[in-house]
C-alpha cells in the first residue's frame, strides 16, 4: 500500500491499479531501484510517466537523472509536474521493466520541472483497460437512482460516455447487474447551466469509501456519443488542461 499520496477530487488511487508483487515489497523496491540505477549508468534515460488528474489521462516522456538512497530524480513535462504535485503519485513505464511501476512523490519543483520519487512497486494500471475517459465532476451534481423498489437521491462523482459513479444518499442494496434508470444533472460549462439527462443503466458494483459512504458504479445501456454527456466530457477536458497550464 502506498502512503503519503493525496486524493485529488473523488477518485482514490486504489481505483486505478492493482499490485503485482513479485517477491516482497522491500525486495521488489530494491529490484526496481537497481534497474533504474543500471539504466542511468548505461545512459538509457528515457521513461514515460502516467497520471490521472481528476480522471484526465496525462502521459508524457521523462528523463532519468540520478538515483541515490532509493530516491529517483528526474526531469518531467510541466503538466505532469503539476499532476504529480497534486496527487502525490505517478506510474512509470520503461522498456527495462515488463510492467508498470507505481512511485510516490518525494518532492516536486514546478519551476524547474523536476521531481524526486520513492517507494516503488510493480503494478498493473487497471485504468488503462477503460474504453472511455472517466472525468470527475467539480462540483458534484444531483442524481436519482430509480429501480423497481428503489428511488434514491445521489451525487454524481464522475462520468464517461459509457457510465457513471454516484454517491447515494443512503444505503444502496442493488444487486449486481440490476437494471435502473438514472436521472443525472449534467453541466454545460460554457453556458453555466445544468441539463437533466435520463439514461437506462446497469449496476456494476457498490464499494465503500474511505469515509464510510458508498459509491455505486453504473454502465449505460447505450454509449452517450452525443448530447449533454458527450458535450460535458469535451468541455471538462478543455477545462482541466487549462487548469493544469495555469498552475505551471
pLDDT at position 150: 85
pLDDT at position 248: 87
Q: Where are the domains of the chain?
A: 13-129, 135-244
Phi and psi based region of residue 203 (left: phi greater than 0; alpha: psi -120 to 50; beta: remaining): beta
Distance between CA atoms of 18 and 32, rounded to whole angstroms? Answer: 17
- In tens, the pLDDT along 140-158 reads 999 999 998 789 999 999 9
pLDDT at position 171: 92
> For residues 76, 37, 5 and 242, what is the CA-based torsion angle, rounded to 10 degrees?
10
Instruction: Count how many Cα atoms sit within 13 Å of the Cα of residue 80 in the half-sphere of its side chain.
Output: 25
pLDDT at position 8: 47
What are the cell numbers at 68?
541515490
Regions of the chain with pLDDT less than 50? 1-8
What are the cell numbers at 54?
481528476
Question: What's domain 13-129's architecture?
Answer: Beta Barrel (2.40)
What are the cell numbers at 7?
486524493
- In tens, the pLDDT along 13-26 reads 777 899 999 999 99
Coil, strand or helix: which one is 213? coil
pLDDT at position 2: 39
pLDDT at position 211: 81
Q: Are 105 and 5 in contact (CB under 8 A)?
A: yes
- The overall average pLDDT reported for the chain is 93
- Grid look-up 478543455 returns 238
What are the cell numbers at 56?
484526465
- In tens, the pLDDT along 104-124 reads 999 999 999 999 999 999 999
pLDDT at position 1: 38
CA proximity to 82, closest of 119, 125, 46, 51: 51
Distance between CA atoms of 24 and 8, rounded to whole angstroms? Answer: 29
Distance between CA atoms of 109 and 195, rounded to whole angstroms? Answer: 40
pLDDT at position 209: 83
Per residue, what are the HEC states of 56-75? EEEEEEEEEEEEECCEEEEE
Distance between CA atoms of 109 and 115, rounded to whole angstroms? Answer: 6
Distances, alpha carbon 2 to alpha carbons 49, 85, 109, 110, 203, in Å: 17, 15, 21, 23, 29
Q: Do domains 13-129 and 135-244 have the same CATH topology?
A: yes
Domain 135-244 sits in CATH at: 2.40.10.220
Number of CB atoms found within 10 A of residue 13's CB:
18
What are the cell numbers at 214?
458508498
pLDDT at position 11: 60
Amino acid at each position: 500500500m502506498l502512503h503519503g499520496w493525496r486524493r485529488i477530487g473523488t477518485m482514490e488511487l486504489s481505483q486505478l491499479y492493482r499490485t503485482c508483487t513479485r517477491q516482497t515489497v522491500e525486495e521488489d523496491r530494491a529490484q526496481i531501484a537497481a534497474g533504474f540505477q543500471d539504466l542511468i549508468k548505461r545512459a538509457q534515460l528515457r521513461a514515460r510517466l502516467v497520471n490521472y488528474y481528476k480522471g484526465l489521462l496525462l502521459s508524457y516522456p521523462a528523463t532519468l537523472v540520478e538515483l541515490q538512497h532509493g530516491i529517483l530524480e528526474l526531469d518531467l513535462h510541466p503538466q505532469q509536474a503539476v499532476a504529480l504535485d497534486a496527487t502525490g503519485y505517478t506510474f512509470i513505464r520503461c522498456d527495462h521493466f515488463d510492467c508498470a511501476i507505481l512511485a510516490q512523490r518525494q518532492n516536486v519543483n514546478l519551476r524547474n520541472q523536476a521531481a524526486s520519487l520513492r517507494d516503488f512497486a510493480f503494478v498493473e494500471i487497471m485504468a488503462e483497460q477503460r474504453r472511455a475517459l472517466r472525468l470527475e465532476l467539480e462540483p458534484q451534481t444531483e442524481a436519482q437512482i430509480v429501480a423497481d423498489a428503489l428511488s434514491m437521491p445521489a451525487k454524481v462523482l464522475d462520468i464517461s460516455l459509457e457510465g457513471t459513479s454516484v454517491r447515494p444518499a443512503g444505503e444502496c442494496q442493488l444487486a449486481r447487474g440490476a437494471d435502473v434508470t438514472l436521472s443525472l444533472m449534467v453541466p454545460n460549462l460554457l453556458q453555466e447551466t445544468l441539463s437533466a439527462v435520463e439514461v437506462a443503466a446497469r449496476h456494476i458494483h457498490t464499494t465503500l469509501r474511505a469515509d464510510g459512504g458508498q459509491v455505486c458504479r453504473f454502465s449505460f445501456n447505450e454509449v452517450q456519443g452525443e448530447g449533454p454527456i458527450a458535450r460535458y466530457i469535451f468541455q471538462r477536458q478543455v477545462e482541466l488542461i487549462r487548469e493544469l497550464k495555469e498552475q505551471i
